[in-house]
Amino acid sequence: MSIIAILAVLACSGGADHEKSQEEDDKPEPSTLVEAVAVAEGSVADVLTSSAVIESESSANLVPEAAGVVREIRKDEGDPVERGDVLAVLDNVALNTGARRATAEVTRLQQRVDAARELLDRGAISVREVEDLDHQLASAKLSSREASSSYGSTRITAPFDGVVAMRDVRVGELATSGRTAFQVVDPDKLRIVSSLPERDLGRLAVGQPARLVSAYDEEVWSTGTVQRISPVVDANSGTFRVTLGVDPHTGGLRPGQFVQVRIEVDRHEDVLVVPKQALLYEDGAPVVYVVGPAPPPEPDEDAEEEEEEEEEEAKLAGLRTPVKLGLVDDAFAEITEGLSAGDQVIVIGHSHLRDGGIVRVAGAEDAGG
């Protein structure tokens, strides 16, 4: 091949490479679609979180004082009861027979005393004989009272106003004192006993508010208040007990439910806040990405001087910004250093964003809570 042909081929090849390079330069820089909100003043709380079980302040497991065959059931699970209501009637032959025998003995002795007093008035017997009969009658009345009390034990009654939570006896079976027959609870007086780590002992105080959320349905919740704080720390677990009262009629919580307890121990008002999802942690330090002007591109030394400069739309970038935090709750984080009111922080689309990466903002709104 002649030298002229080789030069022609090289010239064509160089032209193609130049055109390819030019096409790559003309391709737009990739951008990330993000959502951002403005830093604003808001409120943020310091919350201690634990888990516990709802209990009834008034709860009783009822067992028969004396064994007996269940003859009648008058209340069932879910039925409201008042103090003294009979839940079930038992049949105890020995107790019933003893009660009747004691009553008959009192009647017999009463008749003998009455007859003896008539004889005493006529001088037929001595005062000492009448006193002996009076003593026997008094003893018989005590025995009858005791027997009648035992007879009442064959009836299981409600100890307070509430609801039957459980019935574990059936008609015809033997109910004994070794087995719970009924459980009665007061659903209007609920409480929670939670265990918290020792380090939080100094942060709690009686009267602090709490939010109680069902572990399986966040739509079911109630409010409560710290009522008692144990002054003793369990040496085995390193925790202490906190008792919270559940505000009545504020939710659908029931005894036995597993709930998440969120106790508010502090709150800062009118401070700069960002949504919690705006935070990222790098090497344990919190950072956010702020929407700002993209840094200017590096000058192209190979660009032709005679090419006219075209005006381009200003590009935005996600700028990595270290911050210092104050309080952080479930929704917002307090910013003490690193941001100013009005800064646009990225809340969606920043997890894989590099510092200075080009972004397109889909929307913006105030962050204040």
Q: Which range among 250-264, 278-292, 321-335 shows the weakest confidence by mean pLDDT?
A: 250-264
d(CA 189, CA 249): 10
DSSP-assigned letter for residue 314: P
Provide the pLDDT for residue 294: 82
Q: Taking a C-beta distance cutoff of 8 angstroms, is the pair 258, 50 a contact?
A: no
Cα–Cα distance for residue pair 21/302, rounded to 1 Å: 11
92-107 burial, b at 16+ Cβ within 10 Å, e below that, comes to: beebeebbeebbebbe
Q: Which of 168, 161, 241 lies closest to 198, judged by CA?
A: 241
User: Tell me, what's the pLDDT at 180?
Assistant: 93
Q: Which residue segments constitute the domains of the chain, with CATH numbers given?
A: 47-57+188-267 (2.40.30.170), 65-91+153-187 (2.40.50.100), 93-152 (1.10.287)
169-209 confidence digits (pLDDT tens): 999 898 888 889 999 999 888 999 999 999 999 999 999 99
Q: Label residue 109 by pLDDT band (50, 70, 90).
A: confident
Question: CB-hemisphere CA count at 13 Å for 70?
Answer: 23
Q: Is the pLDDT of residue 239 over 80?
A: yes
- DSSP β-bridge partners for residue 361: 34
Please state, rounded to an integer, the average pLDDT across all residues of the chain: 81
Q: How confident is the model at residue 311 (pLDDT cuts 50, 70, 90)?
A: very low
> Of the segments 117-121, 215-219, 313-317, which one has the largest average pLDDT value?
215-219
Report helix angle 93-121 to 127-152, nearest 10: 160
Please determine, for residue 32, whether its predicted confidence score (pLDDT) is greater than 90: no
State the Cα–Cα distance between residues 324 and 287, nearest whole angstrom: 8
Q: Would the pTM count as exceeding 0.85?
A: no
